[in-house]
Structure 1
Amino acid sequence: MDNTLNRAESRFLGTGWAFPVTFSAGDQQLETSSYEQNINDAINIILMTRKGERNMASRFGLGLQQFFFKKMDETLKGDISDVVKSSLSLNEPRITVKDVSVDFKDPLNGLVEVLITYVYNQTNTRHNYVFPFHLNEGTNL
């Protein structure tokens, strides 16, 4: 279920740099994201950042790379789910993670889909975020 807040209710969610960082073509201004999109960008950054990658924030990030080339079984699903829950709880204070489910969408190609169900802390509005993660390296270059 994905409810959209009106702009007055969602101001607390904030505005920040869009991810990935881009500039508009016409006036070369930095692109920004606001409200729900800003939360999704923050979640994406956390999921894609390795633990220790940021020198001044060594606990920031998730470290999904540790799961590369692991056997795709129920243990892996649990490990990914636990790491996602704890990292988002630590690094994104605007949300409360309610559930993380992991699904092996394409086991032959190593595609794992992570579904995160969360609630905005101030309004208790429920949202979902789907993150595709590849366990195998890209070899089709």
Structure 2
Amino acid sequence: MTKETNKVDHHFLGSGWAFPVTFSVGNHQLNLSAYEENINESIDIILQTRNGERCMEGGFGGGLQQFLFKKMDETLKGEIKEAITYALMYNEPRITVTDVDVQFRDIRGGVVEILLTYMYNQTNTRHNYVFPFYINEGTNLI
């Protein structure tokens, strides 16, 4: 399969600015992302954005920050799963989330690993994305 054929097959996935926004060294052009990488970056932006943070799109974002410093138990897993499913359903129309698996990787360190399984709506191709989330962020005060 040639690179040109690959572009036609994945055209519907879209392209845009890379996240975080960076510029190329040689010609100072804006770096872009496309296809699967663009969707993963979009998921990352959604999950890192607080609800109401965007002034013209109050419903945009995952709102995961509300779970910082909460007790790490099964209830928290359910709340995180529900928040992610809802946020991606309304903010990323190119995918359908099929499963969200929340695991506590380091309870003392507050590390939560979120494994998303989703399908591209146009081709029903299945993909995964791992999003690390830190519950006890900012607790290293002296």
Instruction: Place the TM-score, normalised by the shorter chain, in its bin.
Output: over 0.9
Q: Which amino acid aligns with 1:32?
A: L
1:43-70 deviation per Cα after TM superposition (whole angstroms, max 9, x unaligned): 0000000000000000000110100000
- What is the distance in 1 between the residues matched to 2:107 and 2:29? 41
Structure-1 residue corresponding to 2:8: 8
> Is the partner of 2:10 in helix, strand or coil?
helix
Task: Say which is worse superposed, 8-17 or 77-86, in terms of deviation.
Answer: 8-17
How do 1:54-133 and structure 2 match up within 5 A?
54-133=54-133
Identity, in percent, stands at 63
Superposition deviation, residue 137 in structure 1 = 1.8
Dislocated runs of 4+, deviation >4 Å = none
Work out which of the two has the higher radius of gyration on C-alpha atoms and give 1 or 2: 2
> Is the partner of 2:37 in helix, strand or coil?
helix
1:80-112 deviation per Cα after TM superposition (whole angstroms, max 9, x unaligned): 000000000000000000000100001110000
Superposition deviation, residue 140 in structure 1 = 8.1
Superposition deviation, residue 25 in structure 1 = 1.1
Give structure 2 stretches of 5+ with no counterpart.
none
> Is the partner of 2:122 in helix, strand or coil?
coil
**Closer, same or farther in 2 for the Cα pair 1:33/1:79, shift >3 Å?**
same
- What is the distance in 2 between the residues matched to 1:34 and 1:6? 11
Q: Which amino acid aligns with 1:119?
A: M
Q: Output the aligned Cα RMSD.
A: 1.5
> Is the partner of 2:108 in helix, strand or coil?
helix
> Is the partner of 2:116 in helix, strand or coil?
strand
Give structure 1 stretches of 5+ with no counterpart.
none
Structure-1 residue corresponding to 2:48: 48
The TM-score, its normalising length taken from structure 1, stands at: 0.93
**Closer, same or farther in 2 for the Cα pair 1:140/1:9, shift >3 Å?**
farther
Structure-1 residue corresponding to 2:20: 20
- What is the distance in 2 between the residues matched to 1:133 and 1:140? 19
- What is the distance in 1 between the residues matched to 2:129 and 2:74? 21
- What is the distance in 2 between the residues matched to 1:127 and 1:140? 39
The number of aligned residues is 137
